[in-house]
Structures are given as structure tokens and as C-alpha cells.
Amino acid sequence: MITFMIITVILVSILALVGTLLIGKGISTQLKDYEEKEDTIKNELKRSHEYETSSLRVNIKSLTWIYVGLALVSFVVCLGIYFY
């Protein structure tokens, strides 16, 4: 039973890592697209501001859910190991 719980935490940790890497890859791709577009300073500043506001809204929310889920699963497994 304890082995199953430990494997569960490891799998959820790996999923959290993959989710984090996917979000990071999406950000990198978006930044490369911005760099390829040669535009005026005014448009670049506008895009930068839009990116900062949307990034905080979307990416931080996704990362928060990923790590809250990881923390909850880890906590439940720790309780299970403690009371087993």
C-alpha cells in the first residue's frame, strides 16, 4: 500500500513537471513569434503589455492549479503513510 502511494506521488510530480514544461514551451514559442515580427516600437510595447497581462491571467492560474493538486496529493499520501 505504501509503495502504491509513493508511486502515485512520483507520477503526479512528473505530471506537474510536464505541465510546467509545456507552459514554459508555450511562452517561449510566443516570444519567438514576437521576435520574428519586425514592428514599430509602439506596437511592440502594446504587445508586451498585452502579453504581461494575459500571462499573469492564464499561466499563473495554470501553474497554481498544477502545484495545488500536487500538494494535495502529496499531503493525502503522507497522511496515508503516517496512519498506515
Q: What's the confidence (pLDDT) of residue 31?
A: 79
Q: What's the confidence (pLDDT) of residue 21?
A: 93
Q: What does the angle CA 47 – CA 18 – CA 73 come to, to the nearest 5 degrees?
A: 115
pLDDT tens-digit map of 9-27: 899 999 999 999 998 898 8
**Where do the structural domains in the chain lie, given as residue ranges?**
2-83
35-48 burial, b for 16+ CB within 10 Å, e for fewer? eeeeeeeeeeeeee
pTM greater than 0.85: no
Helix, strand or coil, per DSSP, at residue 79: helix
Residue 35 pLDDT > 80, yes or no? no
Q: Over range 60-79, report the average pLDDT.
A: 90
Instruction: List, in order, residues 6 or more apart from 1 with CB less than 8 Å away.
Output: 80, 84
